């Protein structure tokens, strides 16, 4: 059952279409990631759902009720801000129970819920501190605590991890996902980091210039990009796109191999060693192509190699519209090759 | 040239031996650091001593002496202070100053805050409105005093013309002991609120809009958000503005010179104006010094409350 439904929602800033005719749904208890480059309208979409901006067109419904013209408070949601938006003069405990005090929840229940939430987010020993005395990761936990204590069924997150260092980001990613599943919240999560989208999402909505570029499971977006934009956005390193006449041939780096007697002559430009695998940046026919090799690759920059890939792994896009061309043809070929 | 290295003393620990600077040189370095620091502080210190600390001490000393016609000074101890305690005009000025401070400070601060919140919103003509509120601060004080003098002029002043519309008779606003202080208070509020508004406006713009939004999502009303979030976060500004307001309320002289000269019957005499009169009209510099010491004590008490008590209770970012 879908808890969040946006239908044909638009938001304009003057002539600019920040959000342009966006429709999406999120199922109960799922995590939906709004993904896209900066300025694509993902944060505005989130703010529209939160009620911090009012939609110029379209309707938004939460839990079956039309909330298009309701205030943020009436929408009964919780939200984590990119800046965390912690109240700097209040202690951790006061920050977390802020909403409960607003709603005049009794002191006994407030304390009980604070204790429970502090345990969940691991802040029990820091409740008396001020936000300025906390590390980035701890502040993030306070913001999480404040979001979950209300026990709202819908939680919105606006790039919550972008202020953390890489290691902490990885940790919190797992934690937020676990928390979301444990509490059964429906979560909309905005990020520009495709890794976060791939690892956390049940469903990814990729946006571009205020429109939805593609929406689907992480697997679909990775294995079946509907446009060259999606192909370039998902995956590190992104899909190689080689221009050939009026079309773009896309092939993932891990599907390209360096083999003696391969189909294409290539020259190695650079090698990045990541430990478990290596990314070899080559050039074929004057176009860059990256190759992912397992382990510690021994090829040297400047070396001439031959590369090859399975034609069944190719994705084809129209070079002008960048739309996927060969849906049906490719499917057939894959089916044939697997027999 | 061959660089000779000193042998390391045998008793030294590993870490000390590993440090690139031998101990004696480290001591010299610290000494140089201190000298540098003092040299950097020197210009400010000289100004502070010459124009603040020395005059204070000289004033205190001067209040214990009287100067004869021929220029010789005679020690009189606390005689001036006894004379002051028996001086009804001094007490009148002090009490006037108290009411003046009470009348101007809270109102001008509250007004400044309200105006700042008002012009901090997104709306048409915001820049014009901000400028309008700030104008009283930009105007020369002499001009301001003259404008208000016209407002308060009996019979054909603005206020009396308005009264005339309702069929009321003329009123000598500044000439009547019962209204003169009120008139001054209104004028000073008008002048200060706009100035204080700028500080509040700057502070409001430092606050992240995320905080308001986070509070709104939690269901807090605007008043609740103001009371629990905005106002506490503005406390450093409020304190700063309040201190300024207190100082200003003891500093007012120019308007009095132009508008009332402390009258009628000392009804609008404030402490500093009285000091000015004693020193330059009555030429009694010894008594003026005595009164100045009282003013200094009052202002030091304010500073003490700020640093000793309020600073510890306010959240600074």
> What is the CA angle A160-A155-A123, rounded to 5?
60
Tell me, yes or no, whether A182 and A60 share the same domain: yes
CB A271 within 8 A of CB A281: yes
Tokens of B132: 């309008």
Nearest-CB residue to A50 (from B217, B224, B315): B217
Interface check A97 vs B, CB under 8 A: no
Please give the Cα distance from B232 to A98 (Å, whole number). 15
Residues A105 and A131 in one domain: yes
Q: Which member of B208, B219, B233 has the closest CB to residue A99?
A: B219
DSSP state of B308: I
Domain that holds residue A301: 227-338
pLDDT at position A333 is 53
CA dist B154 and A107 (Å) reads 61
Q: Which two tokens mark B97?
A: 């100053």
Phi-psi region of A36 (alpha: psi -120 to 50; beta: other; left: phi over 0): left
Q: For the segment B193-245, what is each residue's pLDDT rounded down to a tens digit?
A: 989 999 999 999 989 899 999 999 998 999 999 999 999 999 999 998 998 89
Compute CA distances A132 → A92, A135, B9, B128, B272, whole Å. Answer: 10, 8, 46, 37, 44
**Alpha carbon of B141: minimum distance to chain A alpha carbons (Å):** 39
Substitution target from A14, A85, A100 for chain B, most B beta carbons within 10 A = A85
A295 and A195 in a common domain: no
Whether B215 and A98 have beta carbons less than 8 Å apart is answered as yes
Taking an 8 Å cut-off on Cβ atoms, the answer to whether A89 and B233 are in contact is yes
Residues near A181 by beta carbon (within 8 Å), at least 6 away in sequence:
A29
Strands (E), B46-193: 65-67, 73-75
Name the phi and psi angles at A68, rounded to 5: -50, -40
Residue A248 CB contacts under 8 Å (≥ 6 apart), including other chains: A228, A241, A242, A316, A317, A318, A319, A322
For residues B90, B94, B97 and B99, what is the CA-based torsion angle, rounded to 10 degrees?
A: -130
In 3D, which of A215, A213, A236, A234 has the Cα closest to residue A25?
A: A215
Domain boundary among A197, A219, A241: A219
A167, A185: one domain: yes
SS3 A333: helix
3-state secondary structure at position A7: strand
Query: Tens digit of pLDDT for each residue in B43-81?
Result: 999 999 999 999 999 999 988 888 777 778 888 888 888
Nearest CA among A185, A172, A170, A309 for reference residue A242? A309
For the domain made up of B82-313, give the CATH fold: MetI-like fold (1.10.3720)
Q: How many domains does chain A have?
A: 2
- Contacts of residue B217 in chain A, CB cutoff 8 Å? 50-52, 72-73, 77-79
DSSP codes joined into one string, A112-126: HHHHHHHHHHT-GGG
**Do A150 and B218 count as a contact with CB atoms less than 8 A apart?**
yes
What does the pLDDT profile of chain A (339 residues) look like in tens digits? 678 999 999 999 888 889 999 999 999 999 999 999 998 999 999 999 999 999 999 999 998 899 999 999 999 999 999 999 999 999 999 999 999 999 999 999 999 999 999 998 889 999 999 999 999 889 999 999 999 998 889 999 999 998 888 888 888 899 899 999 999 999 999 999 999 999 999 999 999 999 999 999 999 999 999 999 999 999 889 999 999 888 899 999 999 999 988 889 999 999 999 988 999 999 998 899 999 999 888 889 999 999 999 988 999 998 888 889 865 455 555 555 544
Check B211 against A85: CB less than 8 A apart: yes
Q: Which residue from B210, B217, B220 is facing A83, i.e. has the nearest CB?
A: B210
Q: How far apart are CA A293 and CA A305, in angstroms?
A: 13
Instruction: Return d(Cα A289, Cα A281) in angstroms, integer.
Output: 6
CA-based max dimension of chain A: 76
- Is A23 in CB contact (< 8 Å) with chain B? no
Q: Where are the domains of chain B?
A: 22-75, 82-313
Q: C-alpha angle A292/A172/A156, rounded to 5°?
A: 105
Q: Establish, for the pair of chains A and B, how many residue pairs have beta carbons separated by less than 8 Å.
A: 56
Claim to verify: residue A242 and residue A210 sit in the same structural domain: no
Residue B258 DSSP code: H
Smallest Cα–Cα separation from B84: which of B305, B316, B260, B292?
Answer: B292
pLDDT beneath 70, residues of chain B: 1-24, 317
Q: Count CB neighbours of B218 within 10 A.
A: 24
Per DSSP, A323 falls in state B
Angle CA B54–B60–B63, to nearest 5: 135
This complex has an ipTM of 0.83
């Amino acid at each position: 059952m879908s808890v969040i439904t946006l239908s044909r929602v638009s938001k304009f800033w003057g002539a600019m279409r920040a959000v342009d005719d966006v429709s999406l749904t999120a199922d109960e208890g799922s995590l939906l990631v709004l993904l896209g480059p900066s300025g694509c309208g993902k944060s505005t979409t989130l703010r529209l759902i939160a009620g911090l901006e009012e939609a110029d067109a379209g309707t938004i419904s939460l839990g079956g009720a039309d909330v298009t013209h309701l205030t943020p408070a009436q929408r009964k949601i919780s939200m984590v801000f990119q800046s965390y938006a912690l109240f700097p003069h209040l202690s951790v405990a006061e920050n977390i129970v802020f909403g409960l005090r607003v709603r005049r929840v009794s002191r006994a229940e407030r304390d009980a819920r604070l204790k429970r939430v502090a345990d969940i987010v691991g802040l029990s020993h820091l409740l008396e501190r001020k936000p300025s005395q906390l590390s980035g990761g701890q502040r993030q936990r306070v913001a999480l605590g404040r979001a979950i204590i209300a026990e709202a069924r819908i939680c919105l997150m606006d790039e919550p991890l972008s202020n953390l260092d890489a290691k902490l980001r990885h940790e919190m990613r797992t934690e937020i996902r676990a928390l979301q599943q444990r509490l059964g919240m429906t979560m909309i999560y905005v990020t520009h980091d495709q890794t976060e989208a791939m690892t956390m999402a049940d469903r990814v909505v990729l946006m571009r210039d205020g429109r939805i570029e593609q929406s689907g499971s992480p697997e679909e977006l990775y294995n079946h990009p509907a446009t060259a934009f999606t192909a370039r956005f998902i995956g590190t390193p992104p899909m190689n796109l080689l221009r050939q006449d009026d079309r773009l041939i896309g092939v993932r780096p891990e599907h390209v191999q360096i083999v003696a007697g391969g189909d294409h002559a290539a020259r190695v430009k650079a090698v990045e060693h990541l430990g478990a695998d290596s990314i070899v940046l080559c050039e074929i026919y004057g176009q860059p192509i990256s190759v992912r090799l397992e382990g510690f690759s021994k090829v040297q920059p400047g070396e001439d190699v031959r590369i090859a890939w399975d034609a069944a792994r190719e994705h084809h896009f129209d070079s002008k519209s960048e739309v996927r061309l060969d849906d049906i043809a490719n499917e057939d070929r894959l089916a044939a090759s697997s027999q | 040239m061959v660089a000779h290295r000193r042998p390391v003393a045998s008793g030294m620990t590993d870490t000390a031996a590993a440090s690139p600077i031998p101990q004696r040189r480290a001591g010299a370095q610290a000494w140089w650091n201190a000298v540098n620091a003092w040299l950097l502080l020197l210009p400010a210190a000289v100004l502070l001593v010459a124009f603040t600390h020395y005059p204070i001490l000289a004033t205190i000393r001067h209040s214990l002496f009287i100067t004869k016609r021929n220029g010789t000074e005679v020690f009189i101890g606390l005689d001036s202070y006894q004379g002051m305690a028996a001086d009804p005009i001094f007490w009148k000025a002090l009490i006037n100053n108290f009411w003046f401070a009470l009348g101007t400070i809270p109102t001008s601060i509250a007004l400044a805050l309200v105006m700042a919140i008002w012009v901090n919103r997104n709306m048409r003509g915001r820049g014009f409105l901000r400028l309008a509120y700030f104008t009283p601060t930009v105007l020369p004080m002499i001009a301001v005093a003259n404008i208000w003098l016209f407002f308060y002029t009996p019979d054909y002043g603005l206020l009396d013309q308005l009264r005339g519309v309702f069929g009321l008779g003329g009123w000598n606003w500044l000439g009547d002991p019962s209204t003169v202080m009120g008139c001054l208070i209104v004028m000073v509020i008008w002048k200060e609120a706009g100035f204080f508004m700028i500080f509040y406006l700057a502070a409001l713009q430092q606050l992240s809009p995320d905080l308001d939004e986070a509070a709104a999502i939690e269901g807090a009303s605007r008043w609740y958000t103001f009371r629990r979030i905005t106002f506490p976060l503005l406390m450093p500004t409020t304190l700063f503005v309040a201190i300024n307001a207190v100082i200003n309320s003891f500093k007012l002289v120019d308007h009095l010179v132009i508008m009332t000269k402390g009258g009628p019957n000392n009804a609008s005499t404030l402490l500093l104006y009285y000091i000015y009169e004693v020193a330059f009209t009555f030429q009694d510099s010894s008594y003026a010094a005595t009164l100045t010491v009282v003013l200094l004590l009052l202002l030091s008490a304010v500073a003490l409350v700020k640093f000793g008590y309020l600073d510890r209770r306010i959240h600074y970012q």
